Amino acid sequence: MKELSIVLIGDFDPTVPAHQGIPLSVDIAAEDLKLKVTATWLGTDKVQDTDLSQFDGIWCVPKTPYVDPEGALRAIRYARENLVPFLGTCGGFQHVVVEYARNVIGWSDAAHGESQPDAKRQVISPLSCALVETTEKINLFAQSQLASIYGSLTIQEGYRCRYGLNTAFREALLQGPLVASADDDTTEIRAVELTIHPFFIATLFQPERAALSDKRSPLIAAFVNACAQNQGL
């Protein structure tokens, strides 16, 4: 059986529903795609000492604040610059925005409001309405990679999140190649993707939660498939 190696960037906590769902969701996708996939947890404080080139895909997972936010940012930058298939969910989404703001836009002071509440340029700030243990309707943008993956313009997904993209910086940040690919009825952004990358998608929602109800996630299947294509399988 073909084998893949995916690294899960985050600080594992067995009590977190998303962390419970991640290995299940990977196993479901692997079985459907007839692949053998090893998903390895890597704490954010271990990224600096790890050779990320050994992995076929990088998934930056929920639960913030991270032990070492800079470690998460380092992994995201590696995936972005080296065209490694990347998925970011919840905290991963938030840190994708920070990494892009700092290293592509050039805002060295770009900050996450949860860990730097006094920062002047909080590109990630409190949501207008917290999304904690809730399932909501999400609008996928036509022509986006995300809409193609789901085969629909409207989906339902679960959340546990209090922070998202600060709308004050939306226009400056999402002119491309990083673009918005989903919002909801509040018009706040719920997903972004990188148009010059084979697979670089980050969502504020947590598609891994579907596995907790024995459901398949089109997004996670697409991510695992992109990892296989990256390895030439």
User: CB–CB of 13/63 below 8 Å?
Assistant: yes
Residue 123 CA to residue 145 CA, distance in Å, equals 24
Structural tokens at position 102: 């700092």
Which CATH number is correct for 4-231, 3.40.1280.10, 3.40.50.2000, 3.20.20.70, 3.40.50.880? 3.40.50.880
Structural tokens at position 7: 């690294």
For 158-169, how does the pLDDT look when each residue is reduced to its tens digit (9 = 90+)?
A: 999 999 999 999
pLDDT at position 233, please?
Answer: 60
Show me where the domains of the chain are located: 4-231
Helix axes 218-231, 17-33, angle to 10 degrees: 60
As a three-state string, the secondary structure of the chain is CEEEEEEEECCCCCCCHHHHHHHHHHHHHHHHHCEEEEEEEECHHHHHHCCHHHCCEEEECCCCCCCCHHHHHHHHHHHHHHCCCEEEECHHHHHHHHHHHHHHHCCCCCEECCCCCCCCCEEEEEEEEEEEEEEEEEEECCCCHHHHHHCCCEEEEEEEEEEEECHHHHHHHCCCCEEEEEECCCCCEEEEEECCCCCEEEECCCHHHHHHHCCCCHHHHHHHHHHHHHHCC
Per-residue pLDDT of the chain (233 residues; tens, 9 = 90+): 568 999 999 999 999 999 999 999 999 999 999 999 999 999 999 999 999 999 999 999 999 999 999 999 999 999 999 999 999 999 999 999 999 999 999 999 999 999 999 999 999 999 988 898 899 999 999 999 999 999 999 999 999 999 999 999 999 999 999 999 999 999 999 999 999 999 999 999 999 999 999 999 999 999 999 999 988 76
User: CB–CB of 232/63 below 8 Å?
Assistant: no
pLDDT at position 130, please?
Answer: 86
Radius of gyration of the chain (CA): 16
Q: Which of 43, 40, 68, 67 has the alpha carbon at shortest distance from 54?
A: 40
pLDDT at position 2, please?
Answer: 66
For 14-56, how does the pLDDT look when each residue is reduced to its tens digit (9 = 90+)?
A: 999 999 999 999 999 999 999 999 999 999 999 999 999 999 9
Structural tokens at position 28: 């479901």
For 111-124, how does the pLDDT look when each residue is reduced to its tens digit (9 = 90+)?
A: 999 999 999 999 99
pLDDT at position 129, please?
Answer: 85
